[in-house]
A and B are shown apart, each in its own frame.
Chain A
């Protein structure tokens, strides 16, 4: 599995699972950019069918409903959806 990396402040491991067409996912990405944190992301819809399943298995560990955006912080905290305040509070 491959993730794209965005440079920024080190706030621990941050992984964003997103869809390229989802406007809430884009807002979440924009917010991470605004907060200036380093993170990895992947646009699942742009992956092949086999790869999609691998990423989905990964997402399900944190968010059983497998919805987007799913933001995983340090492999333990998971924020589902574009939760502006919650994300700010977790990463500030």
Chain B
């Protein structure tokens, strides 16, 4: 059903593993499971043009799907609370070391209407103070930086520029 090659899966898997390690994240240690997810991400990359979360139904409109481009906005809280992200691609230390197994968890992504409300209100409570630079926050991992514009990609989690909000 797909034209994704073994080599693509392998090289993406290696890259994600290295990126995760470098930034303090862990991929699911079940390599077969993880590679299936990597293949799914590559499939979504080909059919939608971005890595929509494999376990959620994409809208196919990037604007609407920004929060679920992998790594999604919900990864860190889910790893924190349940030990794994919704797809179980990213896991906590206990699961990574094999002490525990990844289990399916509930989806915390808000419904479309709630998302729209949240979007409309985000950035509103920002107190504008006299800063030399605006401060930007990555919605995926919380990385903060003070500069004229957000970075092209987040140096910690590799999320794109469009996933930053003005924080201060």
Contacts and interface: CB of A to CB of B under 8 A. Distances in A.
A19, A24, A49: which has the most chain B beta carbons within 10 Å? A24
B111 interface: yes
In terms of DSSP, what is the predominant structure of the interface of chain B?
loop
Contact of B56 (A26, A56, A68): A68
B60 A44 contact: no
A92 interface: no
Interface residues on A, range: 20 to 34
Contacts of B12: none
A35 interface: no
Given A49-B60, A81-B104, A81-B106, A22 B111 contact: no
Interface of A: 19-26, 44-45, 49, 52, 56, 65-68, 81-83
Given A22-B54, A23-B33, 18 more contacts: A19-B54, A19-B57, A20-B1, A20-B43, A21-B40, A21-B43, A21-B54, A22-B40, A22-B55, A24-B87, A24-B88, A26-B36, A44-B57, A45-B58, A52-B57, A67-B106, A82-B104, A83-B104
